[in-house]
Structure 1
Amino acid sequence: MKTEGIHLAAVATHLPPLHPTRRAVAEGRYDEQDRQDSGIESVPDAGDTTGPDLAVRAARTALARSGHHSSDFAALLHSSVHFQGPDGWSAQHYVLRHTLDRPVTAVEVRQGCLGMLSALEMAACRLTADPDGPPAVLLTAGDNFNTPLADRWRASKLFLLGDAGAAAVVSRHPGFARLLAVGSVSTPSMEELHRGGEPLFPPGPTLGRTLNLEERREYWRREWARGVPPPMGNFADTVAAAAHRTLNEAGLTMADITRVCHIGFSELPLQASFLDPLDIDAERGIWEFTRTTGHLGAADPVAGLEHLWTSGQTRPGDHVMVIGASPGMEAGCAVVEITAPRPAHEEDARA
């Protein structure tokens, strides 16, 4: 979707203290060979701080940077991957109460790790459709994987799960970046890959079943061995399709893209699923950052973009691609143009 007059007024990330992967090996939580294969050096560990509270901390920083008042906001869109709090409770209204505290709609965007990119598209649509309404939408995300139903070290060979909060202020007023295009492409024939033969009812968590994507991948290995083909599709093709369609809508090519913000996969899966399909090397991506954070769930896109901007690795006129993925399978992409220099005081750039 090509966009006109939509900007990022601010972004912010709250990263808890880092837990080194070497320490996790020494603690018996992680295997040394897996550590070496992943290339990941550390992940943020929030202890007992809730996902919604991580989102609130990031949101308060983003709001302070944005120059907007709470009365400027039309909505709040909150994303998450893991459990947020009591069953039947509304995390998004908790975040709303502790940030804007206004009687606007607060919506949960359940789109897995693609949540914030999908929310960005929704915000752009809302701000475009109602040009006389409030000029801003607040996006938030927050996850803490320290629960009995998730093992951040062994849930998947594709990534290690890191805790974080993130926020973005999407606005019709100029900010530090201009949104040129945003959208997504899905390959629903691959939906079963993340189901792996697990029954839909009763839902696994209600029975105490943990998040174990490796177990589901192993299911398909066994099925293939006995002659049952797995769901067919190439996720790398989905990533490439989302990127090239968004570039076309933005009127750009990959040659125009200065840097790429990708999700925090481990080294080899990152190469196969994102870097190779985009025909870029790790230096053009943000591996130097994501190898220290792992996979931050829905917060990845904002965390990467904030890192590039506040560390001075982008400057006005640069084009940045932000790309992510979710089960389904679906890939999402946004292309932004940096319109302002890095913050004057780097120490003010993080929540």
Structure 2
Amino acid sequence: MRLSGIHLAGIATHLPELYPTARAVEEGLYDEQDREESGIESVPVAGETTGPDLAVRAARKALARSGHGPEDFGALLHSSVHFQGPDGWSAHHYVLRHTLDRPVTAVEVRQGCLGMLSALELAAGRLMAAPSEPPAVLLTAGDNFSTPLADRWRASKLFLLGDAGAAAVVSRRGGFARVLSVGSVSAPSMEELHRGGEPLFPPGPTVGRTLNLEERREFWRREWARGVPPPMGNFGDTVAAAAHRSLAEAGVTMADISRVCHVGFSQLPLQASFLDPLGIDEKRGVWELTRITGHLGAADPVAGLEHLWRTGQVGAGDLVMVIGASPGMEAGCAIVEITVPRGTEGEGDHA
């Protein structure tokens, strides 16, 4: 979707204390060979701080940087990957209460690790379609994977799970960057890959089944060995399709992109699923960050963009691709143009 007049007025990430992967190996939580192959040096671990509270901490920073007050917001969109709190409870209204504290709609965007990019698309559509409504939407995300139902070290060989909160203020009024386009492409024929033979009912968590994507991948290896082909498709093609679509809608090419913010996959999966399909190397991405944070769930896109912006690695006129993915399979992409000279405090003040 090509956008007009949509800005990022403030972004922020809240990262708990980093937990070195070498320490996890020493404590028997992680295998040394897996650590070496992943290239991941640490992940943030939040202890007992909840996902919604991580989101609140990030949101307060983003709001302070945005130059917007609570009265400027017409909605809050909250994303998460893991459990947020009591069953039947509204985490998104908890985040709303502890940030804007306004009687506006709060919605949970359950789009897995693509949640914040999907929320950006929803926010942009709302702001463009209703110019008489308040000029901003608050996006938040927060996850703490320190629960008995998730083993951050062994749930998947594609990534290590890191805890984080993230937030972004999307605004018609201005900001430090313009969002030129945003959208996604899915390959629904591949959805079975993340089921891996697991029954749909009763849902796994209700009977104590843990998150184990490696187990589901192993299911398809066994099926293939006995002559049953797995769902076919190349996820890298889906990533490339999402990127090319957003580039075309923004009226630019990959050669115009200064940096790429991607998900926090381990080194080889990142190369195969994102870097190679996009035709870029690690230096053009944000591996310098993700190698110390791992995969932050839905917070990855904001964490990468904030890192580039706050460290001054991108400035006025630079184009940044923000790309992510979720089970489904689906990939999403946004093209962002930085519009102020450098990463400074009070992004919204430069609008």
1:148 CA drift (Å): 0.1
1:173 CA drift (Å): 1.1
TM-score (norm 1): 0.98
- What percentage of aligned pairs have identical amino acids? 83
| 1:31-42 aligned within 5 A | 31-42=31-42
1:340 CA drift (Å): 1.5
Hey, what's the Cα distance between the residues in 2 that align with 1:116 and 1:285?
19
Hey, what's the Cα distance between the residues in 2 that align with 1:341 and 1:110?
35
Match of 1:321 in 2: 321
Match of 2:279 in 1: 279
Does 1:128 pair with 2:128?
yes
Match of 1:60 in 2: 60
Does 1:297 pair with 2:297?
yes
Q: Which runs of 5+ in 1 are unaligned?
A: 347-351
| 1:1-351 aligned within 5 A | 1-344=1-344
Q: Secondary structure at the match of 2:283?
A: coil
Query: Which AA in structure 1 matches 2:37?
Result: D
Hey, what's the Cα distance between the residues in 1 that align with 2:343 and 2:237?
37
Hey, what's the Cα distance between the residues in 2 that align with 1:344 and 1:199?
50
Hey, what's the Cα distance between the residues in 1 that align with 2:187 and 2:198?
20
Query: Which AA in structure 2 matches 1:306?
Result: E
1:343 CA drift (Å): 3.8
Q: Secondary structure at the match of 1:35?
A: helix
Q: Secondary structure at the match of 1:283?
A: helix
Q: Secondary structure at the match of 2:316?
A: coil
Hey, what's the Cα distance between the residues in 2 that align with 1:344 and 1:207?
49
1:270 CA drift (Å): 0.1
Query: Which AA in structure 2 matches 1:166?
Result: A
1:300 CA drift (Å): 0.2
Match of 1:349 in 2: none
Q: Secondary structure at the match of 2:282?
A: coil
Q: Secondary structure at the match of 1:268?
A: helix
Query: Which AA in structure 2 matches 1:158?
Result: L
1:345 CA drift (Å): 5.9
Quote the RMSD (CA, aligned, Å).
Answer: 0.8
Hey, what's the Cα distance between the residues in 1 that align with 2:327 and 2:341?
35
Query: Which AA in structure 2 matches 1:107?
Result: V
Hey, what's the Cα distance between the residues in 1 that align with 2:33 and 2:258?
34
Hey, what's the Cα distance between the residues in 2 that align with 1:55 and 1:226?
45
Deviations, residues 220-261 of structure 1 (Å, cap 9, x unaligned): 000000000000111000000000000000000000000000
Q: Which runs of 5+ in 2 are unaligned?
A: 347-351
Q: Secondary structure at the match of 2:258?
A: strand
Hey, what's the Cα distance between the residues in 2 that align with 1:87 and 1:187?
30
Deviations, residues 111-150 of structure 1 (Å, cap 9, x unaligned): 0000000000000000000011100000000000000000
